[in-house]
Amino acid sequence: MRTSTAGSPRLLSPVTALPAAEVLRWTGFGGAVLLTGGAWAVTARAGAAGLAAAVAGAGLVVLAWALLGRAEPAAPWLRRTLAWWCAPLVVAPPLFSLDVFSYLAQGEVAARGLDPNVVSPAAGASAEAVARVSGYWRETASPYGPLFGTVERGIAQVTGGDPVVGVALYRLAAVLGLLLVVWAVPRLAARAGTSPRTALWLGVLNPLVLWHLVGGVHNDALMLGLMLAGTVVALEALDDARWWPFTAGIVLIALGAQVKLPALVALAVVGTALARRFGGGLARFTLSGVAMVAVAVLVSVVTSLAGRAGFGWLQALGTPSKVASWLAPSNWPGFLTGAVFGAESGRAMISAGRVAGLVLILCAIVVVLARQLRGGVSEVMALGLMMGVIVVLGPVVQPWYLLWAVVPLAAAGVWRSQVAAVVAVFALLVPPLAGDFAGRVPELVLGYAAGLAVVACAFFFLRHVVLRRVSGARS
């Protein structure tokens, strides 16, 4: 007989099963503390020892998260665990990426009255701010939308260029975005007819969220929060034909797109749901699409003018693709061609691969929307599929981009094992400390070897102590 309470895992016996989940909760918390401590140690020149601690901490979080998928804790318990695991990362230095320093420099450009979508940090920010920016982006203008440009300028004006306060404010914005995601995901799961508990574990508690939305301070947290919250508000209002809340949901999605453009995919999902609400068909689908585009344009104009961001962001939308991402499958033929026939041939093949990827993305979106219009896939599934296609076939793939697809797919309840495996691999693929490890390969190898040894010992302990209890509770 299974038992459950609002705050404890849904397992057979609290005596034997609750400690199993609690051990995993505190293992993950300890890993987050170790990751944070290791990161600060590296900033204090601790070298391989600090890196080993950070790798061990990251591995412990991934291990605890993976095993929690078998323990099946309740949703409120998972939300509290998320808070515990996030707490150490809130005070960590920027992890896995230096992008937050680009935000600071772009904000400084905007605070000086320049357009960060046109003027690069190197041309418009102070030497101190530019020195903290990754070499990839010092000469590159901001690719972000006017809403985030307004946030950047506001933070720069409040902090006066102080990087510590600036990082703290960007992390606060990321946490606010994450709270919207936490609110939206169980509702999307309920709409898709899947378990909110599983959706929270796979879509919100997963290490990529911890690493890149909280630790890495990426603005994807704000984009995802606005997009998913807007999708929930719009779809729930559409069920009851409540048109003002429906409009508010569309506006929230459009605001998410004013942080990063891919959020517009949710408008396609909501527009298709609107067409189905009135009977479906190509004519209604077209009218709904026109309405979504009109709202998106209106929100874009209002945001650009009200935030004094201007419209320079329109010409900067392709900025991220200027870096040839080695994780993007569309670039792989170009890398191979370049290795065999030279750099010029490689660049030409990369360009061709990106065009092919764009064509495939458009075709896939048409297919998915057609299936949604006919009722073949749910709105949540359609959102996850289209975001997945955009990530996989796009010109740039970053580990945090995977969350665009992972979160809605987790809410849709599909491919749980496959999605979890992808999350686990990408969570350990990138060194936890932001920065360039070129010329520091021995330090990287030694740090990973020591860190993974700690994780291996923890795995054997948890396998014997925790998994036996979970298995016994289920038998």
* pLDDT per position as a tens digit, 304-342: 887 777 777 677 666 665 666 777 788 888 888 877 777
Give the pLDDT confidence score for residue 379 in this predicted structure.
Answer: 94
Give the pLDDT confidence score for residue 405 in this predicted structure.
Answer: 95
Do the beta carbons of residue 465 and residue 8 sit within 8 Å? no
- Write down the H helix ranges in 140-162: 146-159
> Alpha-carbon dihedral of residues 226, 227, 231, 232, nearest 10 degrees?
-40
Do the beta carbons of residue 25 and residue 64 sit within 8 Å? yes
Give the pLDDT confidence score for residue 378 in this predicted structure.
Answer: 93
**Sign of torsion over alpha carbons 162, 165, 170, 171:** positive
4: alpha, beta or left? (left if phi > 0; alpha if psi -120 to 50): beta
Beta-carbon contacts of residue 398 (< 8 Å; ≥ 6 apart): 325, 327
Give the pLDDT confidence score for residue 439 in this predicted structure.
Answer: 59
- Supply φ then ψ for residue 124, to 5 degrees: -130, -5
> Alpha-carbon dihedral of residues 360, 361, 364, 366, nearest 10 degrees?
-110
Dist CA 62 CA 200 (whole Å): 15
The DSSP call for residue 3 is: E
State both tokens at 223.
């984009």
Do the beta carbons of residue 339 and residue 350 sit within 8 Å? no
User: What are the CB-based long-range contacts (under 8 Å, 24+) for 370-378?
Assistant: 372/269, 372/272, 372/273, 372/276, 373/272, 373/275, 373/276, 373/280, 373/285, 374/280, 375/276, 378/191, 378/192, 378/193, 378/412
Give the pLDDT confidence score for residue 8 in this predicted structure.
Answer: 43
From the DSSP assignment, how many helices (H) and strands (E) are in the chain? 21, 2
Give the pLDDT confidence score for residue 17 in this predicted structure.
Answer: 43
What parts of the chain have a pLDDT lower than 70?
Answer: 1-19, 45-47, 313, 316-324, 434-440, 465-475
Hunting for tokens 């419209």 — which residue is that?
Answer: 311
Q: Does the model's pTM come out above 0.75?
A: yes
Q: Is 4 helix (H, G, I), strand (E, B) or coil?
A: strand
